[in-house]
Amino acid sequence: MASPIGHALAGLAVAWGADLVPGNRAWRFAPPSASWYERAGNGLTLACAVLAAAPDLDLPFGRVHRTVTHSLVSVIAVAAVAGLTAARARLPVRRLVIMCAGAWATHLLVDWLSADQSTPRGIQLLWPFDDRWFISGWDLFIGSERRDLFSAPTMRRNLEAIAQEVAILLPIVVVLWSVRVKALAGFSSQLTGSDHPAK
């Protein structure tokens, strides 16, 4: 199972990747003079990073871990809450549903691609209809250790896991960020009222 840092990076990738999809998104962009937080997509981008890591909040609940919150049902539940919230806030429903449910779903994907030292290995993707555990077996991410968190071997292992996640996911996030900045320069011009929007 990957670390919260790896999961959060995947959530950022979804937020900024979704901003590249054409449609109603001018509201997502701030002019270059705005703060970094606003230019990064403010609270919704942060929410995507948090949502991507949030399924592991089931960790303290022992046997429940990697079941309810790691299922397709949980993705649908997040989509429903995001849709209702977006409708209330008069924001584009479909875009918010894709971003929030997509961010949550990356957690399932990253865990599925990760090595898992626990038994049974993997996630109960089809909970509550099927109690089988799913894992790719590809061990793309070496996975973090959650037991004896402050012992030297665990800390070393987790630093390695985080370094590997950052090495794989950060380049993707950086590319998405730079493409997003270029693709959306036009929106910034509109927001600042420029007569000469960037080409």
Q: Look at the alpha carbons of 130, 136, 139, 140 in this order and tell me if their dihedral is positive or negative.
A: negative
With tokens 């002019």, the residue in question is: 31
Is residue 4 within 8 A of residue 11, CB to CB? The reply is no
Member of 6, 51, 100, 111 binding Zn ion (CB under 5 A): 111
Contacts from 170-175 at CB under 8 Å and sequence distance 24+? 170/9, 172/9, 172/13, 173/9, 173/12, 173/13, 173/16
Residue (76 or 89) nearer to Zn ion, CB? 76
CB of 123 to Zn ion, least distance (A): 7
Binding status of residue 145 toward Zn ion by CB under 5 A: no
Region near Zn ion per CB under 5 A, out of 16-24, 48-56, 112-120, 174-182: 48-56
Rounded distance, CA 135 to CA 95, Å? 29
Residue (56 or 165) nearer to Zn ion, CB? 56
Residue (57 or 80) nearer to Zn ion, CB? 57
Binding status of residue 116 toward Zn ion by CB under 5 A: no
State the Cα torsion 68-69-74-79 to the nearest 10°. Answer: 170
Residue (75 or 184) nearer to Zn ion, CB? 75
Member of 19, 56, 116, 165 binding Zn ion (CB under 5 A): 56
Region near Zn ion per CB under 5 A, out of 43-51, 56-64, 133-141, 165-173: 56-64
Region near Zn ion per CB under 5 A, out of 10-18, 41-49, 52-60, 74-82: 52-60
Phi, psi of 14 (to 5 degrees): -65, -45
Cβ-based neighbour number of residue 158 at 10 Å: 18
Binding status of residue 19 toward Zn ion by CB under 5 A: no
**Residues making contact with Zn ion (CB under 5 A):** 1, 56, 111
